[in-house]
Amino acid sequence: MAVTNRIRRSMIFLNTQRAALVKDAFVYHPDCVIFDLEDAVAEGEKDSARIQLYQTLKHVDYQGVERWVRVNALDSDLVNEDIRAAVAGGTEGIRLPKTETAAEVKEASAKITAAEKEFDRPVGSTMLMAALESPLGVMNAYEIATADDRMMGIALSAGDYTRTMHAKRTVAGTELFGARSQMLIAARAAGVMAFDTVYTDTDNEEGFKKELQLIKDMGFDGKSCINPKQIGITHEIFNPSAAEIKHAEHVLQAVNDSKENGVGVLTVDGKMVDVAWVEGAQRNLKLAKAAGIYKGALV
């Protein structure tokens, strides 16, 4: 089983070409880093970034932060070597850009399998994440998400999507509602995680917070970040609040008590417990525990 279950609130893109960025980005405590070999890297420096990637994966202890690699597009002449370097270095996962079909996922997976065999890594140990960057990709979200056992999640990439949709980027994110909803439904149906696109206006903290609140309420698992300062804010919004944690504790405590006492009707804080609350309460406490803000024993 390739896909590991863990908290992935933030995934920060790092331009692998830049030594200063990749040497110790774990100090910002993101849940995941994405070493970028694609858009951030200048054409003439693809080789240099790839070798830096390999040496970083191999020699820099990322202190438990999950390491992903965004490879170049499947139709480029760079992707094979990108995957070989990433797998040889021992990356936890590969993010495939511009994914439009399930066949592409299968093709990437086959390349990863070949690399795993070549470099003596357990076959199937490298996860995959697909970035949906076009209307076709969004339409095929469910097929993409279920195309392969390696699939950990799907991520929206709004730049190209908005362009091809003839839409305008808005502060409210009106143009992304369709894509966000569609891919989220697909991800949940497929049982994989869902990640939202980057927020490019890095100086606009208020706008960033609003967008985070929106995608959290929609049900996203996390967000792609482009600046280290976005990590703390992302965690702040994605973490359950103190009130949510307290409520979740009460719900689960009531469930436990009822099991012991055989009481049929549950009430918490004076209200009858809806069965739907229990799952949400468990999810919140698990998230809080993974985030290090809940130390209790209820989950």
Partner 1 sequence: MKVTTQAIAGTLESSDAQVMILPHSGSVKVELTSSVFDQYGDHIIALAKDTAKTLGLEDGLIKIVDKGALDCTIKARIETAFYRMTGQTADLPWEVL
Partner 2 sequence: MINKIGRDIPDEYLKNGVEPFQGIYYRDGYQYKKAAPTVRAYVKPDGNKLVDSIHDAVVKSGLKDGMTISFHHHLRDGDYVVNMVMKEIHKLGIKDLTVCATSLGKAHNYLVTCIEDGTVTGISTSGIRDEIGEVVSEGKLKHPAVIRSHGGRARAIEDGTVKIDVAFIGASTSDAYGNASGKGGKSDTGVLAYADGDAKYADKVVVITDTLVDGPNFPASIEGVDVDYVVKVDSIGDPEKIATGALRLTKDTRELNMAKEVAKCIYYSGYFKDGFSFQTGAGGPSLATTTFLKQYMEKDHIKCGWAMGGVTEPIVDLFKAGYVNEILDDQSFDLAAVASAHTQNHFEISASQYANPFNKGAFVNQLSFVILGALEIDTGFNVNVVQGSNGILRGAPGGHPDTAAGASVSIIVAPLIRSRMPTVRDKVTSVTTPGESIDIVVTDYGVAVNPRRKDLLAAFKDTNIPLKTIEELRDLAYQYAGKAKASRIYRPGRCLSRIP
- Note the residues at the interface with partner 1 (CB under 8 A): 18-20, 23, 47-48, 51-52, 54-56, 58-60, 80-81, 84-85, 88-89, 119-120
Binding residue count for partner 2, defined by CB under 8 A: 12
* CB-based contact 240:288 (threshold 8 Å): yes
151-156 and 127-132 beta bridge pairing: parallel
298 binds, among partner 1, partner 2, none (CB under 5 to 8 A by kind): none
Asked if 233 interacts with partner 2 (CB under 8 A), we say no
Rounded Cα distance, 266 and 283, in Å = 19
Q: Identify what 232 binds: partner 2, partner 1, none; CB under 5 to 8 Å per kind.
A: partner 2
Tokens of 222: 């996390």
Please select the residue that binds partner 2; options are 18, 28, 125, 226, rule is CB under 8 A: 28
DSSP tag of 298: -
Minimum CB separation from partner 2 for residue 135, in Å?
35
Measured CA to CA, the distance from residue 88 to residue 68 in angstroms comes to: 13
Instruction: Spell out a b/e string for 225-263, using b for 16 or more CB atoms within 10 Å of the CB, else e.
Output: bbebebbebbbebbbbeeebbebbbbbbebbeeeeeeee
Interacting positions 240-299 with partner 2 (CB under 8 A): 292-293
Least distance in Å: CB of 57 to partner 1? 9
Q: Considering CB distances under 5 to 8 angstroms, the limit depending on partner class, which of partner 1, partner 2, none binds residue 263?
A: none
If one asks whether residue 61 binds partner 2 (CB under 8 A), the answer comes out as yes
Three-state secondary-structure class, residue 72: coil
**Residue 291 in tokens:** 């985030």
The single residue among 229, 242, 246, 283 that binds partner 2, judged by CB under 8 A, is 229
Assess 206 for contact with partner 2 (CB under 8 A): no
